[in-house]
Every structure is written in structure tokens, then in C-alpha cells.
Amino acid sequence: MYSLISMFLALAILIVLLHLKIKLGRAMLLSAIALAILLRVTPGQFWAAAVDEWNTKPLSQTTGYLIVTLTALVMLVNVLGTAMKETGVSQRLVPALQGLFRSRRFAMAAIPMIMGLLPTPGGIMLSAPMVRDLGDHIGVERSHQAAINFFFRHQWETVWPLFPAVPLIQGMFGISALRLMSFNIAITLFGTISGIIFLLLFGIPPRQKGKQSHGRLTHNFQDFFHVFWPILVVAALYAAANIPPAVGLFCAIVVFLFFHKVALNRWPAIFKSGLEPDFALLIFGALFFKLNLEAGSAITNVVDFFEKMSVPAYFVIFFLPFLVAFMTGLTMPTVAMTFIFLRTFIGTGEEARMGLETLAFSGLMVGLFLTPVHLCLALSASYFKAPLIKIIIKVLPPTIFVAAAGILMAVLFG
């Protein structure tokens, strides 16, 4: 019980600090420090958790590696945005998108959904510049832009096999990929449809005649490709050779600058534009928060608490992944920490009650969509310069339908 209270107090501190207009990165770091104090995590315990993580996890899942690569990624996204403005490419993006998709609403959602096929932490920043440019052009309020980019970016997470949580659940429950995806697709469908209803049918200003695109299809495609190819390079290098997105993005930026014949004396200023200290603090604070939970055995204690309280099974199946996702803002650790415990309720192999697995994953997604410690949500608030709480309020209605998808599948197939 104490661990549960400590988690909520740390999040309450974060919310208060944000209300006091403390920068998001600093607030996140202070919240993580508060959690360490509340959980009585000593420097020795913290170091032991870090060493254990280093010895037992792949390098790409260790906290130090994530801090370096995610910080580099978000900085380089800023650099790419500056490079596109420097070359005039970004100014051609909006009319190209409108010419290609015709529907401004479809274009706003299609960009983050396409980018969402690249499962990289902090990858929301890859679509953010495109969504912001298009949203500003058609007059969409910044918090609404951030909500669209954030919500649609995560619609593939339950079924796309490049997300490591999907094959992990497969192995954990001994089920086929087809069986897992055929049930979890309900979350994607409910989320996408409700996102269209609540985020695209409302909050988009009426089309203005002077802002319509009349360019030829081939020209629109060429302009779009000039913006999109660096992202394709990042995705291809990551999928084919497992090259970290930050490394791939750096290579793409260098090629981009050479291709557009940007003078070498302009390069330092372009790269300097990406330096944003608060982004670095934000990433460090979020990962520090997660490591403190592990060092303080908080998740294990919460699971034990639920067992002793004899909480109803359906509630535990939904609420436990929700709670851990809400506290950590991370998919993979939530699956690793909670789905092992939930196998007792769900079963394995042919006996697995997949409706209950979908209920568990919907709880996880609801937690991810609503937590202020979700890195993508925090980065969106910083990049779009929008209040965090305002973004959460906007994604709340479609998030309710994500929960409804899990409940419906549990009732029908549980």
C-alpha cells in the first residue's frame, strides 16, 4: 500500500510543479527525485538496479543507452526541422499534403499513423514538425495538433509486430501472432474510429478558399517525398540493420544538407538550433522515475497488495496494466511487469482467454494515453508549446472508447 501511495504522491508533485509553471524537464526530474525519497531508494540500491539492468538487459533497453539516444533523437529532430526551413522544403509540405490527400483531416491523422509504424521511443518527434506545419497552416489550435499527433501515433502499438511488446506477449502466452492480432485489432479499430470522431470532426476550422491546393499530383508527391525521405531512411536503417534512429537521423540530415547544397559555414548554426536543455532533463527525469520504481520494488509490492485484498479478477486484469503504464509511461516494462502475473487469470496456449488479454492491453493503452510521464505526451507538450493537461483532456474521449474495446472483448470472449 505504501508503494502505491508513494507513486501517486510523486505524480501529484509533478502536476503541482507544472501548475506552478515549472519547465516540464525540471518538473519531471524533481518528481523522480521525490519518488526516490518516498520509496527510500538509497544510492546503493539505485546503483545496484542500474548494474543489474546493465547485466541482464540488452544494451538498447538500458537506462544509460536510452538517455543518450533519446536525447540525441529529439535534438536532431529539431535540427532536421531547421534544415527543412533553411532549404525551403517545409514550406512546400502543406500544399503537397493537401494536394495528395485532398482531405485536411485525413492528412493530419495520416502523418502520425504512418510514422507510428516506426517503433522507437520518442519517435513521436518524427511526425511532430509535419503535423505542426500543416496544423498552423489550416488554423488548428496547438493543443489540438498535439492531441492528434499523440493519439494517432500510437494506434498500431497493439498489433504491429515491430513493437517488442507484441512478440513478447506471443511468447509469454504461447499463442500465434495471427491470434493475438485478431483480438487486439479491436483496440486499434475503436481507437482510430473514436479518434476520427472526437479529434478530426471537431477542432478543425472550415476550409478557406485561398488555402486550397491545386498543384499537380506528381509535383505534390515530389514535394512530399523531399520532406518524407529522411524519415524513410531512418525507418529503413532501423528495420533492416537495427541502427538506432538517432544515428540514422544524423546520417539523413548530413545527406539532406549535401543534397540541397547548404553551405558548410551554415551547418554549425543549423545543428546548434537543436540544443534544448529542457528536453534532455525531461528524458533523464522520465527514465530516472522508471528506474526508481524498479530499485524500490514498487511494482512487486503493488501486485502483492492486490493479491492480499482479493480484488475481482476483471478489475485486476484491466487496472494493473493501467496503473503500471500510468506510473511509468512505458509499454514494454508494463508488459514485462504485469502480464506474467496476469497469466494466472488469462491462461496460455489454446486455453488462453484472449478477450481478457485484450482487456489487459486496453488498460495498458489507457494508462499510456493519460499519464503525464509518458515521454511522447511530455515531448508533445514541449514541442507544440501546449499545456499538458489540455492535451490529456482532448484525448480522454477517444481513450474511453479504447477502454470500451477491451471491456467488450472481455465480455464476448473472456
Q: What does the pLDDT look like over 230-289, one tens digit per residue?
A: 877 876 776 677 677 788 888 888 998 998 888 888 888 888 877 777 778 877 887 788
Q: 136: which 3 cell numbers?
A: 498552423
Decide if pLDDT at 213 tops 50: no
- Quote the DSSP letter at residue 202: S
- Interhelix angle for 354-370 vs 331-346, to 10°? 150
Q: Please tell me the predicted confidence (pLDDT) of residue 239.
A: 61
**Which residues span the domain enclosing 119?**
2-206+214-413
Question: Higher pLDDT residue, 385 or 408?
Answer: 408
pLDDT confidence tier of residue 391, bands split at 50, 70 and 90 = very high
Average pLDDT value for residue range 361-369: 96
Average pLDDT value for residue range 190-208: 89
Q: Please tell me the predicted confidence (pLDDT) of residue 358.
A: 96
Q: What does the pLDDT look like over 46-104, one tens digit per residue?
A: 888 888 888 887 776 677 887 887 788 778 877 887 888 788 776 676 677 667 777 77
Q: 170: which 3 cell numbers?
A: 506471443
Closest CA to 324 of 347, 342, 310: 342
> Per the structure, how many domains does the chain have?
1
pTM given for the model: 0.70
Closest CA to 221 of 212, 229, 231: 229
Residue whose C-alpha cell reads 496503473 in the numeric block: 323
Closest CA to 31 of 313, 348, 282: 282
Q: What does the pLDDT look like over 4-30, one tens digit per residue?
A: 788 778 878 877 887 787 887 888 889
